[in-house]
Amino acid sequence: MDVTQAVQQLYNTYPFPPDPILDEVPPGYNWRWHWQAAYNFCLGQMPARSDVRILDAGCGTGVSTEYLVHLNPGAQVTAIDISPGALAVAKERCTRSKALGVEFHQMSLFDVEQLPGEFDLINSVGVLHHTADPNKGIQALAKKLAPGGLLHIFVYGEVGRWEITMMQRAIGLLQGDKKGDYRDGVRVGREIFANLPENNRIAQREASRWSLENFKDECFADMYVHPQEIVYNAETIFELIDAAGLEFIGFSNPQFWDLERLIGKAPDLMERAKGLTDRQRYRLIELLDPEVAHFEFFLGKPPVTKADWSSDAALLAAIPQRHPCLEGWPSMAFFDSNYQIAKIDDAEFACMDACDGLKTVDDLVRSIENVDLGVVRSLQSRFLITLTAPQA
């Protein structure tokens, strides 16, 4: 059985992810699946249009697909997956929550060139590392990306999944000639965890980090008995990125990749780090904080030009809006795009309240007491407001 068939069989047996199907719009948001928010994160400004084409490449049971439709009402969404069992769940999910108009196809990433046209946003979460050739897979996706388009990728990290890898190998050894029988693999894995000593490192990691989601067999199977998994570190991940032939825009969790949070209190070490390349700094962070269970990042197909708001003149001419992914606004404390509590003061509240997508920053600083460019820059840096250049 080849890799594609084996992976297809796993997800026919255990459709993933096993999130409940609702008869309503799914709760909350993931800004990475919101075209405007993702574009703003990548390029520093809001996109000129929302009637874009989106591809969910490896949609599984349609959790991401459903969000992509509801978060992007002006978009045309296409979803592909190799598992007919998972696709059946995805179609039911989208029908039930009225995420309508999705074009579903059963196909591999390697066959994506069969789809007509190009896509402005391609979402591929947790897929490439389960293929026989991730480099070939990301190249296939890159070919379908429209100029100026964004590719969102999520793949597994090596150092943060060390215990998972050990457990996968242990289950495989005990399964013997039953390897590939995924239900048997889950039974074996469950029994191992039930009998390991409490002070066992693998058992402790499962209990502290993964057990809540692995309560469901679908999640346990996806984590511990998957037939194909390739993991990356901060060096090898750029071999995958370079293979795409696209521009690396950045990791979607930039706070983690800030070296200052780890050694910022040691000026001499920070000075030494200035001599490192960006990629060497990423590797240093990974070595000092080995919690990297995954890499999530954006690539862009040129031309991708980041907005430059560094000059006061450019910022004053910009048109600000509240970020599209906030929950609990209006309030002095609400959830930001990453579902972290954002607390603002009176001047920041007044500024955000006036960000209607019509007034310029110049209008705001002239008309609102205690609001200056420092307030605007602070709100933008925290992704609480977005900026758009005025039309010529």
For residue 112, the surrounding DSSP H or E stretch is none
| Residue 45: how many other CB atoms lie within 10 Å | 19
286-302 average pLDDT score: 97
**Mean pLDDT of the residues in the chain:** 97
pLDDT band at residue 392 under the 50/70/90 scheme = low
Q: CB of 37 within 8 A of CB of 323? A: yes
> Which pTM was predicted?
0.96
Percent of the chain that is helix, strand, coil (3-state, to 5): 45, 15, 40
Q: What's the pLDDT score for residue 371?
A: 96
Q: CB of 129 within 8 A of CB of 284? A: no
User: How is residue 390 written in tokens?
Assistant: 């005025």
Q: pLDDT digits over 206-230, tens only?
A: 999 999 999 999 999 999 999 999 9
Return phi, psi of residue 125, to 5°: -110, 120
How many angstroms separate the CA atoms of 227 and 216, rounded? 18
Tokens 């429209």 found at:
146
Q: CB of 67 within 8 A of CB of 30? A: yes
Nearest by Cα to 54 from 121, 5, 102: 121
Return phi, psi of residue 216, to 5°: -90, 135
Q: Please tell me the least confidently modeled range out of 1-5, 175-179, 335-339, 375-379.
A: 1-5
pLDDT band at residue 391 under the 50/70/90 scheme = confident
Nearest by Cα to 320 from 354, 347, 345, 346: 354
Q: pLDDT digits over 140-170, tens only?
A: 999 999 999 999 999 999 999 999 999 999 9
Give the amino acid at 78. Answer: T
Displacement of CA 240 from its chain's centroid (Å): 16
- The DSSP secondary structure of 343-386, one letter per residue, reads E--HHHHHHHHH-BSSS-HHHHHHHSTT--HHHHHHHHHTTSEE
How many angstroms separate the CA atoms of 192 and 186, rounded? 10
Give the amino acid at 188. Answer: V
